[in-house]
Chains A and B, each alone.
Chain A
Amino acid sequence: TQLLEQSPQFLSIQEGENLTVYCNSSSVFSSLQWYRQEPGEGPVLLVTVVTGGEVKKLKRLTFQFGDARKDSSLHITAAQPGDTGLYLCAGERGSNSGYALNFGKGTSLLVTP
């Protein structure tokens, strides 16, 4: 069972277009992270959101954490070919005994010139 559902699974757009990808769950997370993974590489952290309703911007990328801390979205403005990659969201559920990042399956984004 996947704790985090990401949509869409695949997205192919042209350079300059805007897009939004979603990360949804029925569980509450103490924080949520977005990663980007390129072929042959490990995921690289883009941002962490902690507070319900929080919005963070990273250049052309805007990340939002839902008020109830169960979902998040990533909006890219004026996409560029360099944005191509697999975007993963990961929810953090810490405890006194351990910690684990639960990942969604990701949105595979292709931006063509």
Chain B
Amino acid sequence: DSGVTQTPKHLITATGQRVTLRCSPRSGDLSVYWYQQSLDQGLQFLIHYYNGEERAKGNILERFSAQQFPDLHSELNLSSLELGDSALYFCASSARGGQINTEAFFGQGTRLTVV
């Protein structure tokens, strides 16, 4: 158990809909990262939050947004869903952000299926 909790574990929804994925980081970790994993693209970095502030953006679509709340949990919002958004979405946390040799701990992921 990594200490990172993601809910829900599975999500099936229709195209055009909006969903929210939730992540609770390890106790004391200030950084939260979101990744998307698909068979053809592998693990793609989406966005990084540190202590409530956005620190880095990767290949995140405009239809996607995220935030980190004062209690440090984070939510990833996916809207106007398309079939191609079906993937595993992982949240990871670490104690620090923007530092060398930062160890990231991953949750078990949310498997999103868009039908």
Contacts and interface: CB of A to CB of B under 8 A. Distances in A.
Interface in A70-98: 88, 90, 92, 94-98
A40 B45 contact: no
Nearest to B103: A45
Contacts of B105: 45
B43 A41 contact: no
Interface string A28-44: 00110101000011111
Contacts of A58: none
B108 to A, nearest CB: 5
A94 B107 contact: no
20 contacts: A31-B101, A33-B103, A42-B2, A42-B107, A43-B90, A44-B106, A45-B105, A48-B103, A88-B42, A96-B98, A98-B48, A98-B98, A99-B31, A100-B45, A101-B33, A102-B45, A103-B43, A104-B42, A105-B41, A105-B42
Contact of B97 (A90, A99, A102, A106): A99
Nearest to B35: A103
A14 to B, nearest CB: 26
Contacts of B90: 42-43
Contacts of A101: 33, 45, 104
Contacts of A96: 98
- Determine the main DSSP class of A at the interface with B: loop
A4 B1 CA distance: 28
A101 B45 CA distance: 7
A61 interface: no
Nearest to A4: B42
B16 interface: no
Contacts of A99: 31, 48, 55-56, 97-99, 102
Given A30-B100, A92-B101, A43 B43 contact: yes
Interface string B82-113: 00000000101000011111111111110000
A33 B101 CA distance: 9
A97 B40 CA distance: 29
A40 B108 contact: yes
